[in-house]
Amino acid sequence: MAARLAEDAPERFAADGFLVVEDLFDPQADFAPLFAEWSDVLSEVAGALVADGAITSAYDELPFAPRLIAVSEECGRSIAQSFDISLPQKSIAADTPLHLGDAVFEIITNAGLLDRVEALIGPEIVSNPVQHVRMKLPERARPPGAGADYLTGKVSWHQDLGVLMAEADAATILSCWIAITDATVDNGCIQVIPGSHRRDLIDHCPTGHDLGIPDRLLTLDAATAVPLKAGSALIFGQQLVHSSLDNSTTNQVRISMDLRFQPPGQPSGRPDFPSFLARSAERPGEVLDDPAEWRRLWADAQRRLSQRALPTFNRWDADSPACA
């Protein structure tokens, strides 16, 4: 049986478009395996950068977050894709890095997380492939200008539906934004516009590093920051307008995972990326519980997409009427 949310949670979710779930994970028990995997990834990346002459030290004497900052600051380029759990929207190659470790799969399929999802969308749950690990760096460690990216910097106001193909317009897609480290106003927590989920899809425009809704189309005086302590989560639907603040005044790395879930039989919005059945009362034998099989699905997708042109995932460009 799904764990119960607060008694008034469905009503609050319907009214505001989002819910905060405190202490969904135990940071020590649940996230230590993540950091062990990420430390190995960082060692591999740093070693390659040293070999290429891009940095002078692998900084292996430092803990993970300071090491990530030091490596990123010295090399002057984004290494965020090496930690991500989804392929990029363009320029996919056979060797595009992707981290699909067992510890990541354990978070995606965590029973407590799926219990909360079930309480909102029912017992048949598919893992949507639009999911990310974001390591938001201090401003000094981010690549400048065109090198900036949506995984390490500020994220513009958007609706998740706005970064999916139109096939998913009628789908029910639940976003679960998990704070792996404390997410504060200073280091770049999420902010939302309560009630904005009742709006239709709003025009989005390219910003240079992501896709965002022009400020003139929003009621920004309603914007509400949602700081979260590590282990807590923000759950919201695909039409809620949200963004993230910048991390320009701290020396911290704000780390989060955003995962998405939906009922079976609905388009994911990224048909070339692999979804999988994460929970099912009707078809329990079809639930994917093997991280090796999950990795194989992504490897197959990457191989296909590296050999042909990618579809257009976004609906707007700089010449769109709302963006001109």
User: What pLDDT is recorded for position 2?
Assistant: 47
User: What pLDDT is recorded for position 148?
Assistant: 54
**36: in domain:** no
- Say how far residue 164 (Cα) sits from the centre of its chain: 13
User: What pLDDT is recorded for position 9?
Assistant: 81
Length of the chain: 324
Contact between 264 and 121 under an 8 Å Cβ cutoff? The reply is no
Distance CA 278, CA 246 (A): 33
Contact between 203 and 161 under an 8 Å Cβ cutoff? The reply is no
- Say how far residue 275 (Cα) sits from the centre of its chain: 15
**16: in domain:** yes
**176: in domain:** yes
User: What pLDDT is recorded for position 310?
Assistant: 80
**324: in domain:** no
pLDDT in tens, the chain (324 residues): 445 677 778 788 989 999 999 999 999 999 999 999 999 999 999 999 999 999 999 999 999 999 999 999 999 989 999 999 999 988 899 999 999 999 999 999 999 999 999 999 999 999 999 999 999 999 888 887 544 567 788 889 999 999 899 999 999 999 999 999 999 999 999 999 999 999 999 999 988 778 899 999 999 999 999 999 999 999 999 999 999 999 989 999 999 999 999 999 999 999 999 999 999 999 999 999 999 999 999 999 999 999 988 878 788 888 888 887
User: What pLDDT is recorded for position 147?
Assistant: 47
Residue 144: CATH number of its domain: 2.60.120.620
Between the alpha carbon of residue 160 and those of residues 134, 243, 312, 322, the distances in Å are: 16, 10, 16, 18
Domain count for the chain: 1
Classified as helix, coil or strand, 131 is strand
**253: in domain:** yes
**275: in domain:** yes
Both tokens of residue 196?
């904005």
How much is the pTM?
0.94
Both tokens of residue 20?
């905060």
Distance CA 313, CA 269 (A): 8
Distance CA 128, CA 273 (A): 9
**165: in domain:** yes
**163: in domain:** yes
Q: Of 122, 109, 222, 86, whose CA–CA distance to 176 is shortest?
A: 109
Query: Could you identify the residue written with the tokens 């001109």?
Result: 324
Query: Could you identify the residue written with the tokens 């969904």?
Result: 24
Domain that residue 193 falls in:
9-25+100-305
Both tokens of residue 2?
């799904």
